[in-house]
Each structure stands twice: as C-alpha cells, then as structure tokens.
Amino acid sequence: MMDVFFIERDPYAPIRHCYPVSKILYEGKSEYQEIMVIESPHFGKVLVLDGVAQCDERFEFIYHEFISHVPLFAHPNPEDVLIIGGGDGGALREVLKHKEVKRAVLVDIDKQVIEVSKKFFPTMAVAFEDPRVIVLNEDGYKYVQDYEQEFDVIIVDSTDPVGFAHVLTTEEFFKYVYRALKDDGIYVGQTESIHYHADIVRRVQKSLRKVFPIVDLYTAVIPGYAGYWWTFSIASKKHPVREPSRDVNIQTKLYSADMHRHAFLPESFYQKILSGEY
Amino acid sequence: MMDVFFIERDPYAPIRHCYPVSKILYEGKSEYQEIMVIESPHFGKVLVLDGVAQCDERFEFIYHEFISHVPLFAHPNPEDVLIIGGGDGGALREVLKHKEVKRAVLVDIDKQVIEVSKKFFPTMAVAFEDPRVIVLNEDGYKYVQDYEQEFDVIIVDSTDPVGFAHVLTTEEFFKYVYRALKDDGIYVGQTESIHYHADIVRRVQKSLRKVFPIVDLYTAVIPGYAGYWWTFSIASKKHPVREPSRDVNIQTKLYSADMHRHAFLPESFYQKILSGEY
C-alpha cells in the first residue's frame, strides 16, 4: 500500500502534506467535523479532522509539550487548569504531569474526537481517567463566560482559527478568558505558523494586547503542520513568561528550561513579525 | 490549473510536499540530474532537482541567508570564499553582500543548473557577473583537493547527501576541506533536518569532530524542505561561531545578529541530538 496517499485538504496552507498510508483505521463524521484516523509509516497513527492532520503518534509530543509546559512552568503554582479543545488528550496528559495541578477541566465540543482518541491513541488519550480531570462536551466559548477568577492557566488547543474555531481568537473571547483567570492567570493558544499565517498571528497578538498587560509569542517546529514554524500566543496577567518559574521536574522529550527560553524569538524579530515587516 | 499538483519524490522524507502548480516552465535532464521549474501560487517559481524542491522564490532567502551569513559573520575578515554546489546562485548573492569578500569561487558540477537559474530565477542568480566571482563546472570533491591554506570560508551548498552528493559529507572530504582552509578558516554545510534525518546530522557531526577543533550545529526553519527544522553543520579552525564577529552591516530579511545567536540550539538539546537521545 506504499503508493496510497492521504493528501491534506487545508484551504489555508499553500502546500499540501501528502502522507503515505498503510491503513485507514477510521472514517466518521461527528456533529461538527469529519474525523479520520490513518496509519502512516514513520508517523504511526494520524488523527485527521476535516481533512487536516491534527496529530500523529510520532511527533505529537512536540505540540503538546510546548502548548502545556510553557504556560504551566511560567506559573508558580498552577492548581486549576482549563483546556478548551484538546479532545485528543495530549495536552491533558502533559498538564497532569504537574503535581501542582489539582483540577484540569477539558471542554471539547466534540465528544466523538475524545472517543476516537481513546480508542486509537491510547498513549495520547491516557489521562482522561485521572481523578483530577473533568471532561465536558460543551462549547468552550460559552463555558468560559460563566467563570470569574477561576483558573490559573487556560489553554486553547483548538483546530485552525477558521471555521467554527474562529471565535476562540476574538477580542471578545479574550475578555472572557481574562475574567475567568485568577489575578495571576496565564492564557495560551495555538496561533498557526509564522510563514503561512502571519496575518492570523498578528491579529491574535493585537487582540490579546487590548486585554492583557503581558503578551508574547513563542514557537515550536511541528513536522506535521504545514507552516512548521508554529506559534503559540501567550498572555499573562502578572507573571513573566519567558522563563520557567519553577524547576522542570517532570519527564519530557523536548521541553526543558533551556528550550522554554529558546522557544521565544529574539525581541527584534518578534517586533518585525508584529509590525508586518517580516 | 489549481487542481494540478507537483508531488515531491524524495525517498528520504517520510512525507511528501504537494505544490499546487499554475505553470510548468521547464523540464530537462542534465548529465547529473533531472531539472524542472514550476510555478506555484504563494511560492512563485520553484527549482526542482531529481523530483525534490530545492528552492522557491518566496522563501529561498531563509536558506541562503543562513548558510552564508553565519559562517561569514563568524569570520572577522572573509576575503576568499569557496562555494561547492550552489548553482542556483542564492548563496553567492548573499556572500557577495560582504564587502570583505575579494574572491568567491563557485564550483558546481552541473552547468545546466546555473543556466536554468539564470534564466528563471533572476533575483536569485543575480551575482554571477560580479567581477569577484569565478564559476567552475567541476567536481567540488576533486577541486578542493588541489588547495592548501587558500580559503577563509568554504560553503557546501549541495543537494541531499545521498546519491552523488554523499561524498561531500565524508571524513575524507572534510580532511581536504580542512587543508584547503586558511589557519582560521570556517566550513559550513547543509545537513538535513533534525526530525527526519537525525542519523545524517549525527554522522556528519561525528566526522567533522575528527577533523576540526570547533564543531557546532545551527538551524533555520525552511518551509519548502520536508523536515523543516533544517540543520547546518559548521566547523572552525580557530574562531568561535555562535556570535557574529563583526557588525551586521548588510541588508537581510531574516538573518540578524540576534537570529545568528538564536539559530544555535541550547547546548543541552544539542547534546541530546548528538547522543541520539533525541
């Protein structure tokens, strides 16, 4: 079957990733999106939503370590964590490595993504049964509006901010996030790539700056995401974010205190991205 | 034509890049390789050798700035520069931005790559007529054996180190390079990606360490290269390489003194790559 390929259908990427496919393990459609699981040599199983690869067994740790540990280690004591999206369970697994975490609420609108992940990605969807976890299949945009001073860290691990995930990158949403965070809370969200989606990066950074006093951008190179030089927009009410505030006392593959610092771009280049000069 | 695609045929990449094609501008075959030029929306013209994209108009500056300016700015006075490969002219263009350079010798075995680049990539193959330039269509592996204490910087800008470019990454070749460099000379070569080709990175680094006293690794994220997190292996007889040794007084899009430093990985992660732990 080495001549069978899955070709991504990502209207926002100028290039398509073409994965060799050894098996098609699942094809379904939830209320919100098409869900597919394929197996690809070198990558292992790949979760595909609406024709776009979301994560693969081999490299999912990169995205999940960086979306989780940068905000959680920037925070001195992250007890209450909210994950919006993240139904694959990868970010949840990383969040729960922090013994400080007393409660992790995962709000993913699409129950079927969680079910598929539990079935096909047991090393990723490994933490759903942890007693600290609360899973809700609700609209994260609405959920966050009901809370005030509730969370230490809010992670938005959504699909691309186009289509139904777009509202999760608006200024209005960030105001709700700000309110739902405690006085020293930290927000993070994935904001696409530097090279293919600079307009999205700039738009989100601009909106965050209207709401939060500390806003920054960090990166990780994600093999499976067209654009590769992936950005995470981080916003903080009080704590600086470019350094871990605690010892990195957990097991990781790529994240470390050094890589935390290195994930942030030099200020001069960051400013060029913000201004549109790059 | 938005449904026409060029699908890369790279036996060493576990994923294939699939470029939308608006025009096929050139298809030919030289003595050494198949040469193709396509036009792809967003990327502009793309140079394809043996089915693998080598550079595109939109993003070629990243690779060419980093393969050139890191070694040239690490060197305090790079007067004599040798480029092996690099027939597209991109590295040559960057090298000649340094007013210190008195002579740039470009040795590309394949004359037809240079001709095609001159015809289709006028912004990249822009420097061939500079009076400081000597172009030779010879085998770089043999060429370098004839020189001793001749060059300040040697840049190996080759195709993937498999097939006929493999010899350019052997210990034997590095011994010739060492001899052809002046007493404070610097070598750099592209050594594929961290995630898809870690074995190549380790092999080259190991060979360089047998020959040079200072060996290091730096990176740039290249949208067009599957693997993305591209590595450059750099080796120096005397000068440290992690800092520019002179003012960055030239026009660049991404390279800067800050980005020079940032291109080098934190030591802890570099060691994990070398040891095979990552």
Helix (H, G, I), strand (E, B) or coil at A126: coil
Distance of CA B175 to the CA centre of its chain: 19
Q: What is the pLDDT of residue A1?
A: 46
Within chain A, which residue ranges are assigned CATH 2.30.140.10? 5-56
Tell me what ipTM this predicted complex has.
0.94
Tens digits of residue pLDDT in A102-129: 999 999 999 999 999 999 999 999 999 9
Q: Which chain A residues have any C-beta within 8 angstroms of a chain B C-beta?
A: 5, 7-8, 14-20, 40-43, 59, 194-196, 221, 223-224, 227-229, 253-254, 256, 258-259, 261-262, 265-269, 278
Q: What CATH number belongs to B5-56?
A: 2.30.140.10
- Interchain contact, B258 vs A278, CB within 8 Å: no
Question: What distance in Å separates the CA atoms of residue B265 and residue A174, rounded to the nearest whole number?
Answer: 33
Question: What distance in Å separates the CA atoms of residue B184 and residue B239, rounded to the nearest whole number?
Answer: 6
Question: What distance in Å separates the CA atoms of residue A170 and residue A141, rounded to the nearest whole number?
Answer: 10
Residue of B nearest to A41 (CA): B14
What average pLDDT score do residues B146-158 get?
A: 97
Within chain A, which residue ranges are assigned CATH 3.40.50.150? 60-275
Q: What is the pLDDT of residue B39?
A: 97
- Interchain contact, B268 vs A258, CB within 8 Å: yes
Per DSSP (E only), the strands in B77-122 are 80-85, 103-107
Tens digits of residue pLDDT in B171-199: 999 999 999 999 999 999 999 999 988 99
Residue of B nearest to A58 (CA): B195
Residue B30 among known ligand-binding residues: no
What average pLDDT score do residues B62-90 get?
A: 98
What average pLDDT score do residues B108-116 get?
A: 97
Residue of A nearest to B259 (CA): A266
Q: Chain A contacts of B195, Cβ < 8 Å?
A: 59, 221, 223
Question: What distance in Å separates the CA atoms of residue B256 and residue A270, rounded to the nearest whole number?
Answer: 12
Neighbours of A39 (CB within 10 A): 19
Residue stretches of chain A with pLDDT short of 50:
1
Read off the DSSP letter of residue A128: T
Residue A88 among known ligand-binding residues: yes
Q: Chain A contacts of B20, Cβ < 8 Å?
A: 14-16
Residue B88 among known ligand-binding residues: yes
- Reference A222, options B66, B223, B192, B255; nearest CA is B223
3-state per-residue secondary structure call for B194-230: CCCCHHHHHHHHHHHHCCCCEEEEEEEECCCCCCCEE
Residue linked to tokens 């960030």: A174
pLDDT tops 90 at residue B13: no
Q: Chain B contacts of A253, Cβ < 8 Å?
A: 278
Q: Amino acid identity of A15?
A: I
Q: What is the pLDDT of residue A11?
A: 76
Residue linked to tokens 């933490």: A127
Tokens of B110: 């394949």
Q: What is the pLDDT of residue A97?
A: 98
Reported for A123-127, long-range contacts at CB under 8 A and 24+ positions apart, including other chains, are: A123/A57, A124/A55, A124/A57, A124/A60, A124/A64, A124/A88, A124/A89, A124/A90, A124/A93, A125/A88, A125/A89, A125/A90, A125/A93, A126/A89, A126/A93, A127/A89, A127/A92, A127/A93, A127/A95, A127/A96
B1 CA to chain A: closest CA distance, Å? Answer: 14
Question: What distance in Å separates the CA atoms of residue B234 and residue B66, rounded to the nearest whole number?
Answer: 11
What average pLDDT score do residues B237-256 get?
A: 97
A214-238 burial code (b ≥16 CB/10 A, e <16): bbbbbbbbbbbbbbbbbbbbbbbbe
3-state per-residue secondary structure call for A69-89: HHHHHHCCCCCEEEEEECCCC
Residues 6+ away with beta carbon under 8 Å from B123: B57
Q: What is the pLDDT of residue A2?
A: 63
Helix (H, G, I), strand (E, B) or coil at B54: strand
- Do residues B85 and B188 lie in contact, with contact meaning Cβ atoms separated by under 8 Å? no
- Interchain contact, B269 vs A256, CB within 8 Å: yes
pLDDT tops 80 at residue B217: yes
Mutate to test the interface with A, among B4, B7, B15, B242 (most CBs of A within 10 A): B15
- Beta strand pairing call for A16-20 and B52-56: unpaired
- Domain B60-275 fold is Rossmann fold (3.40.50)
Active site residues of B: 157
Q: What is the pLDDT of residue B1?
A: 46
- Interchain contact, A17 vs B17, CB within 8 Å: yes
Residue A184 among known ligand-binding residues: no
- Interchain contact, B195 vs A59, CB within 8 Å: yes
Could you say which of A18, A41, A228 has the minimum Cβ distance to residue B18?
A18
Residues 6+ away with beta carbon under 8 Å from A52: A8, A9, A10, A159, A160
What angle is formed at CA A253 by the lines to CA A250 and CA A254, rounded to 5 degrees?
A: 105
pLDDT tops 60 at residue B109: yes
Helix (H, G, I), strand (E, B) or coil at B57: coil
For chain B, the average pLDDT equals 95
Residue B68 among known ligand-binding residues: no
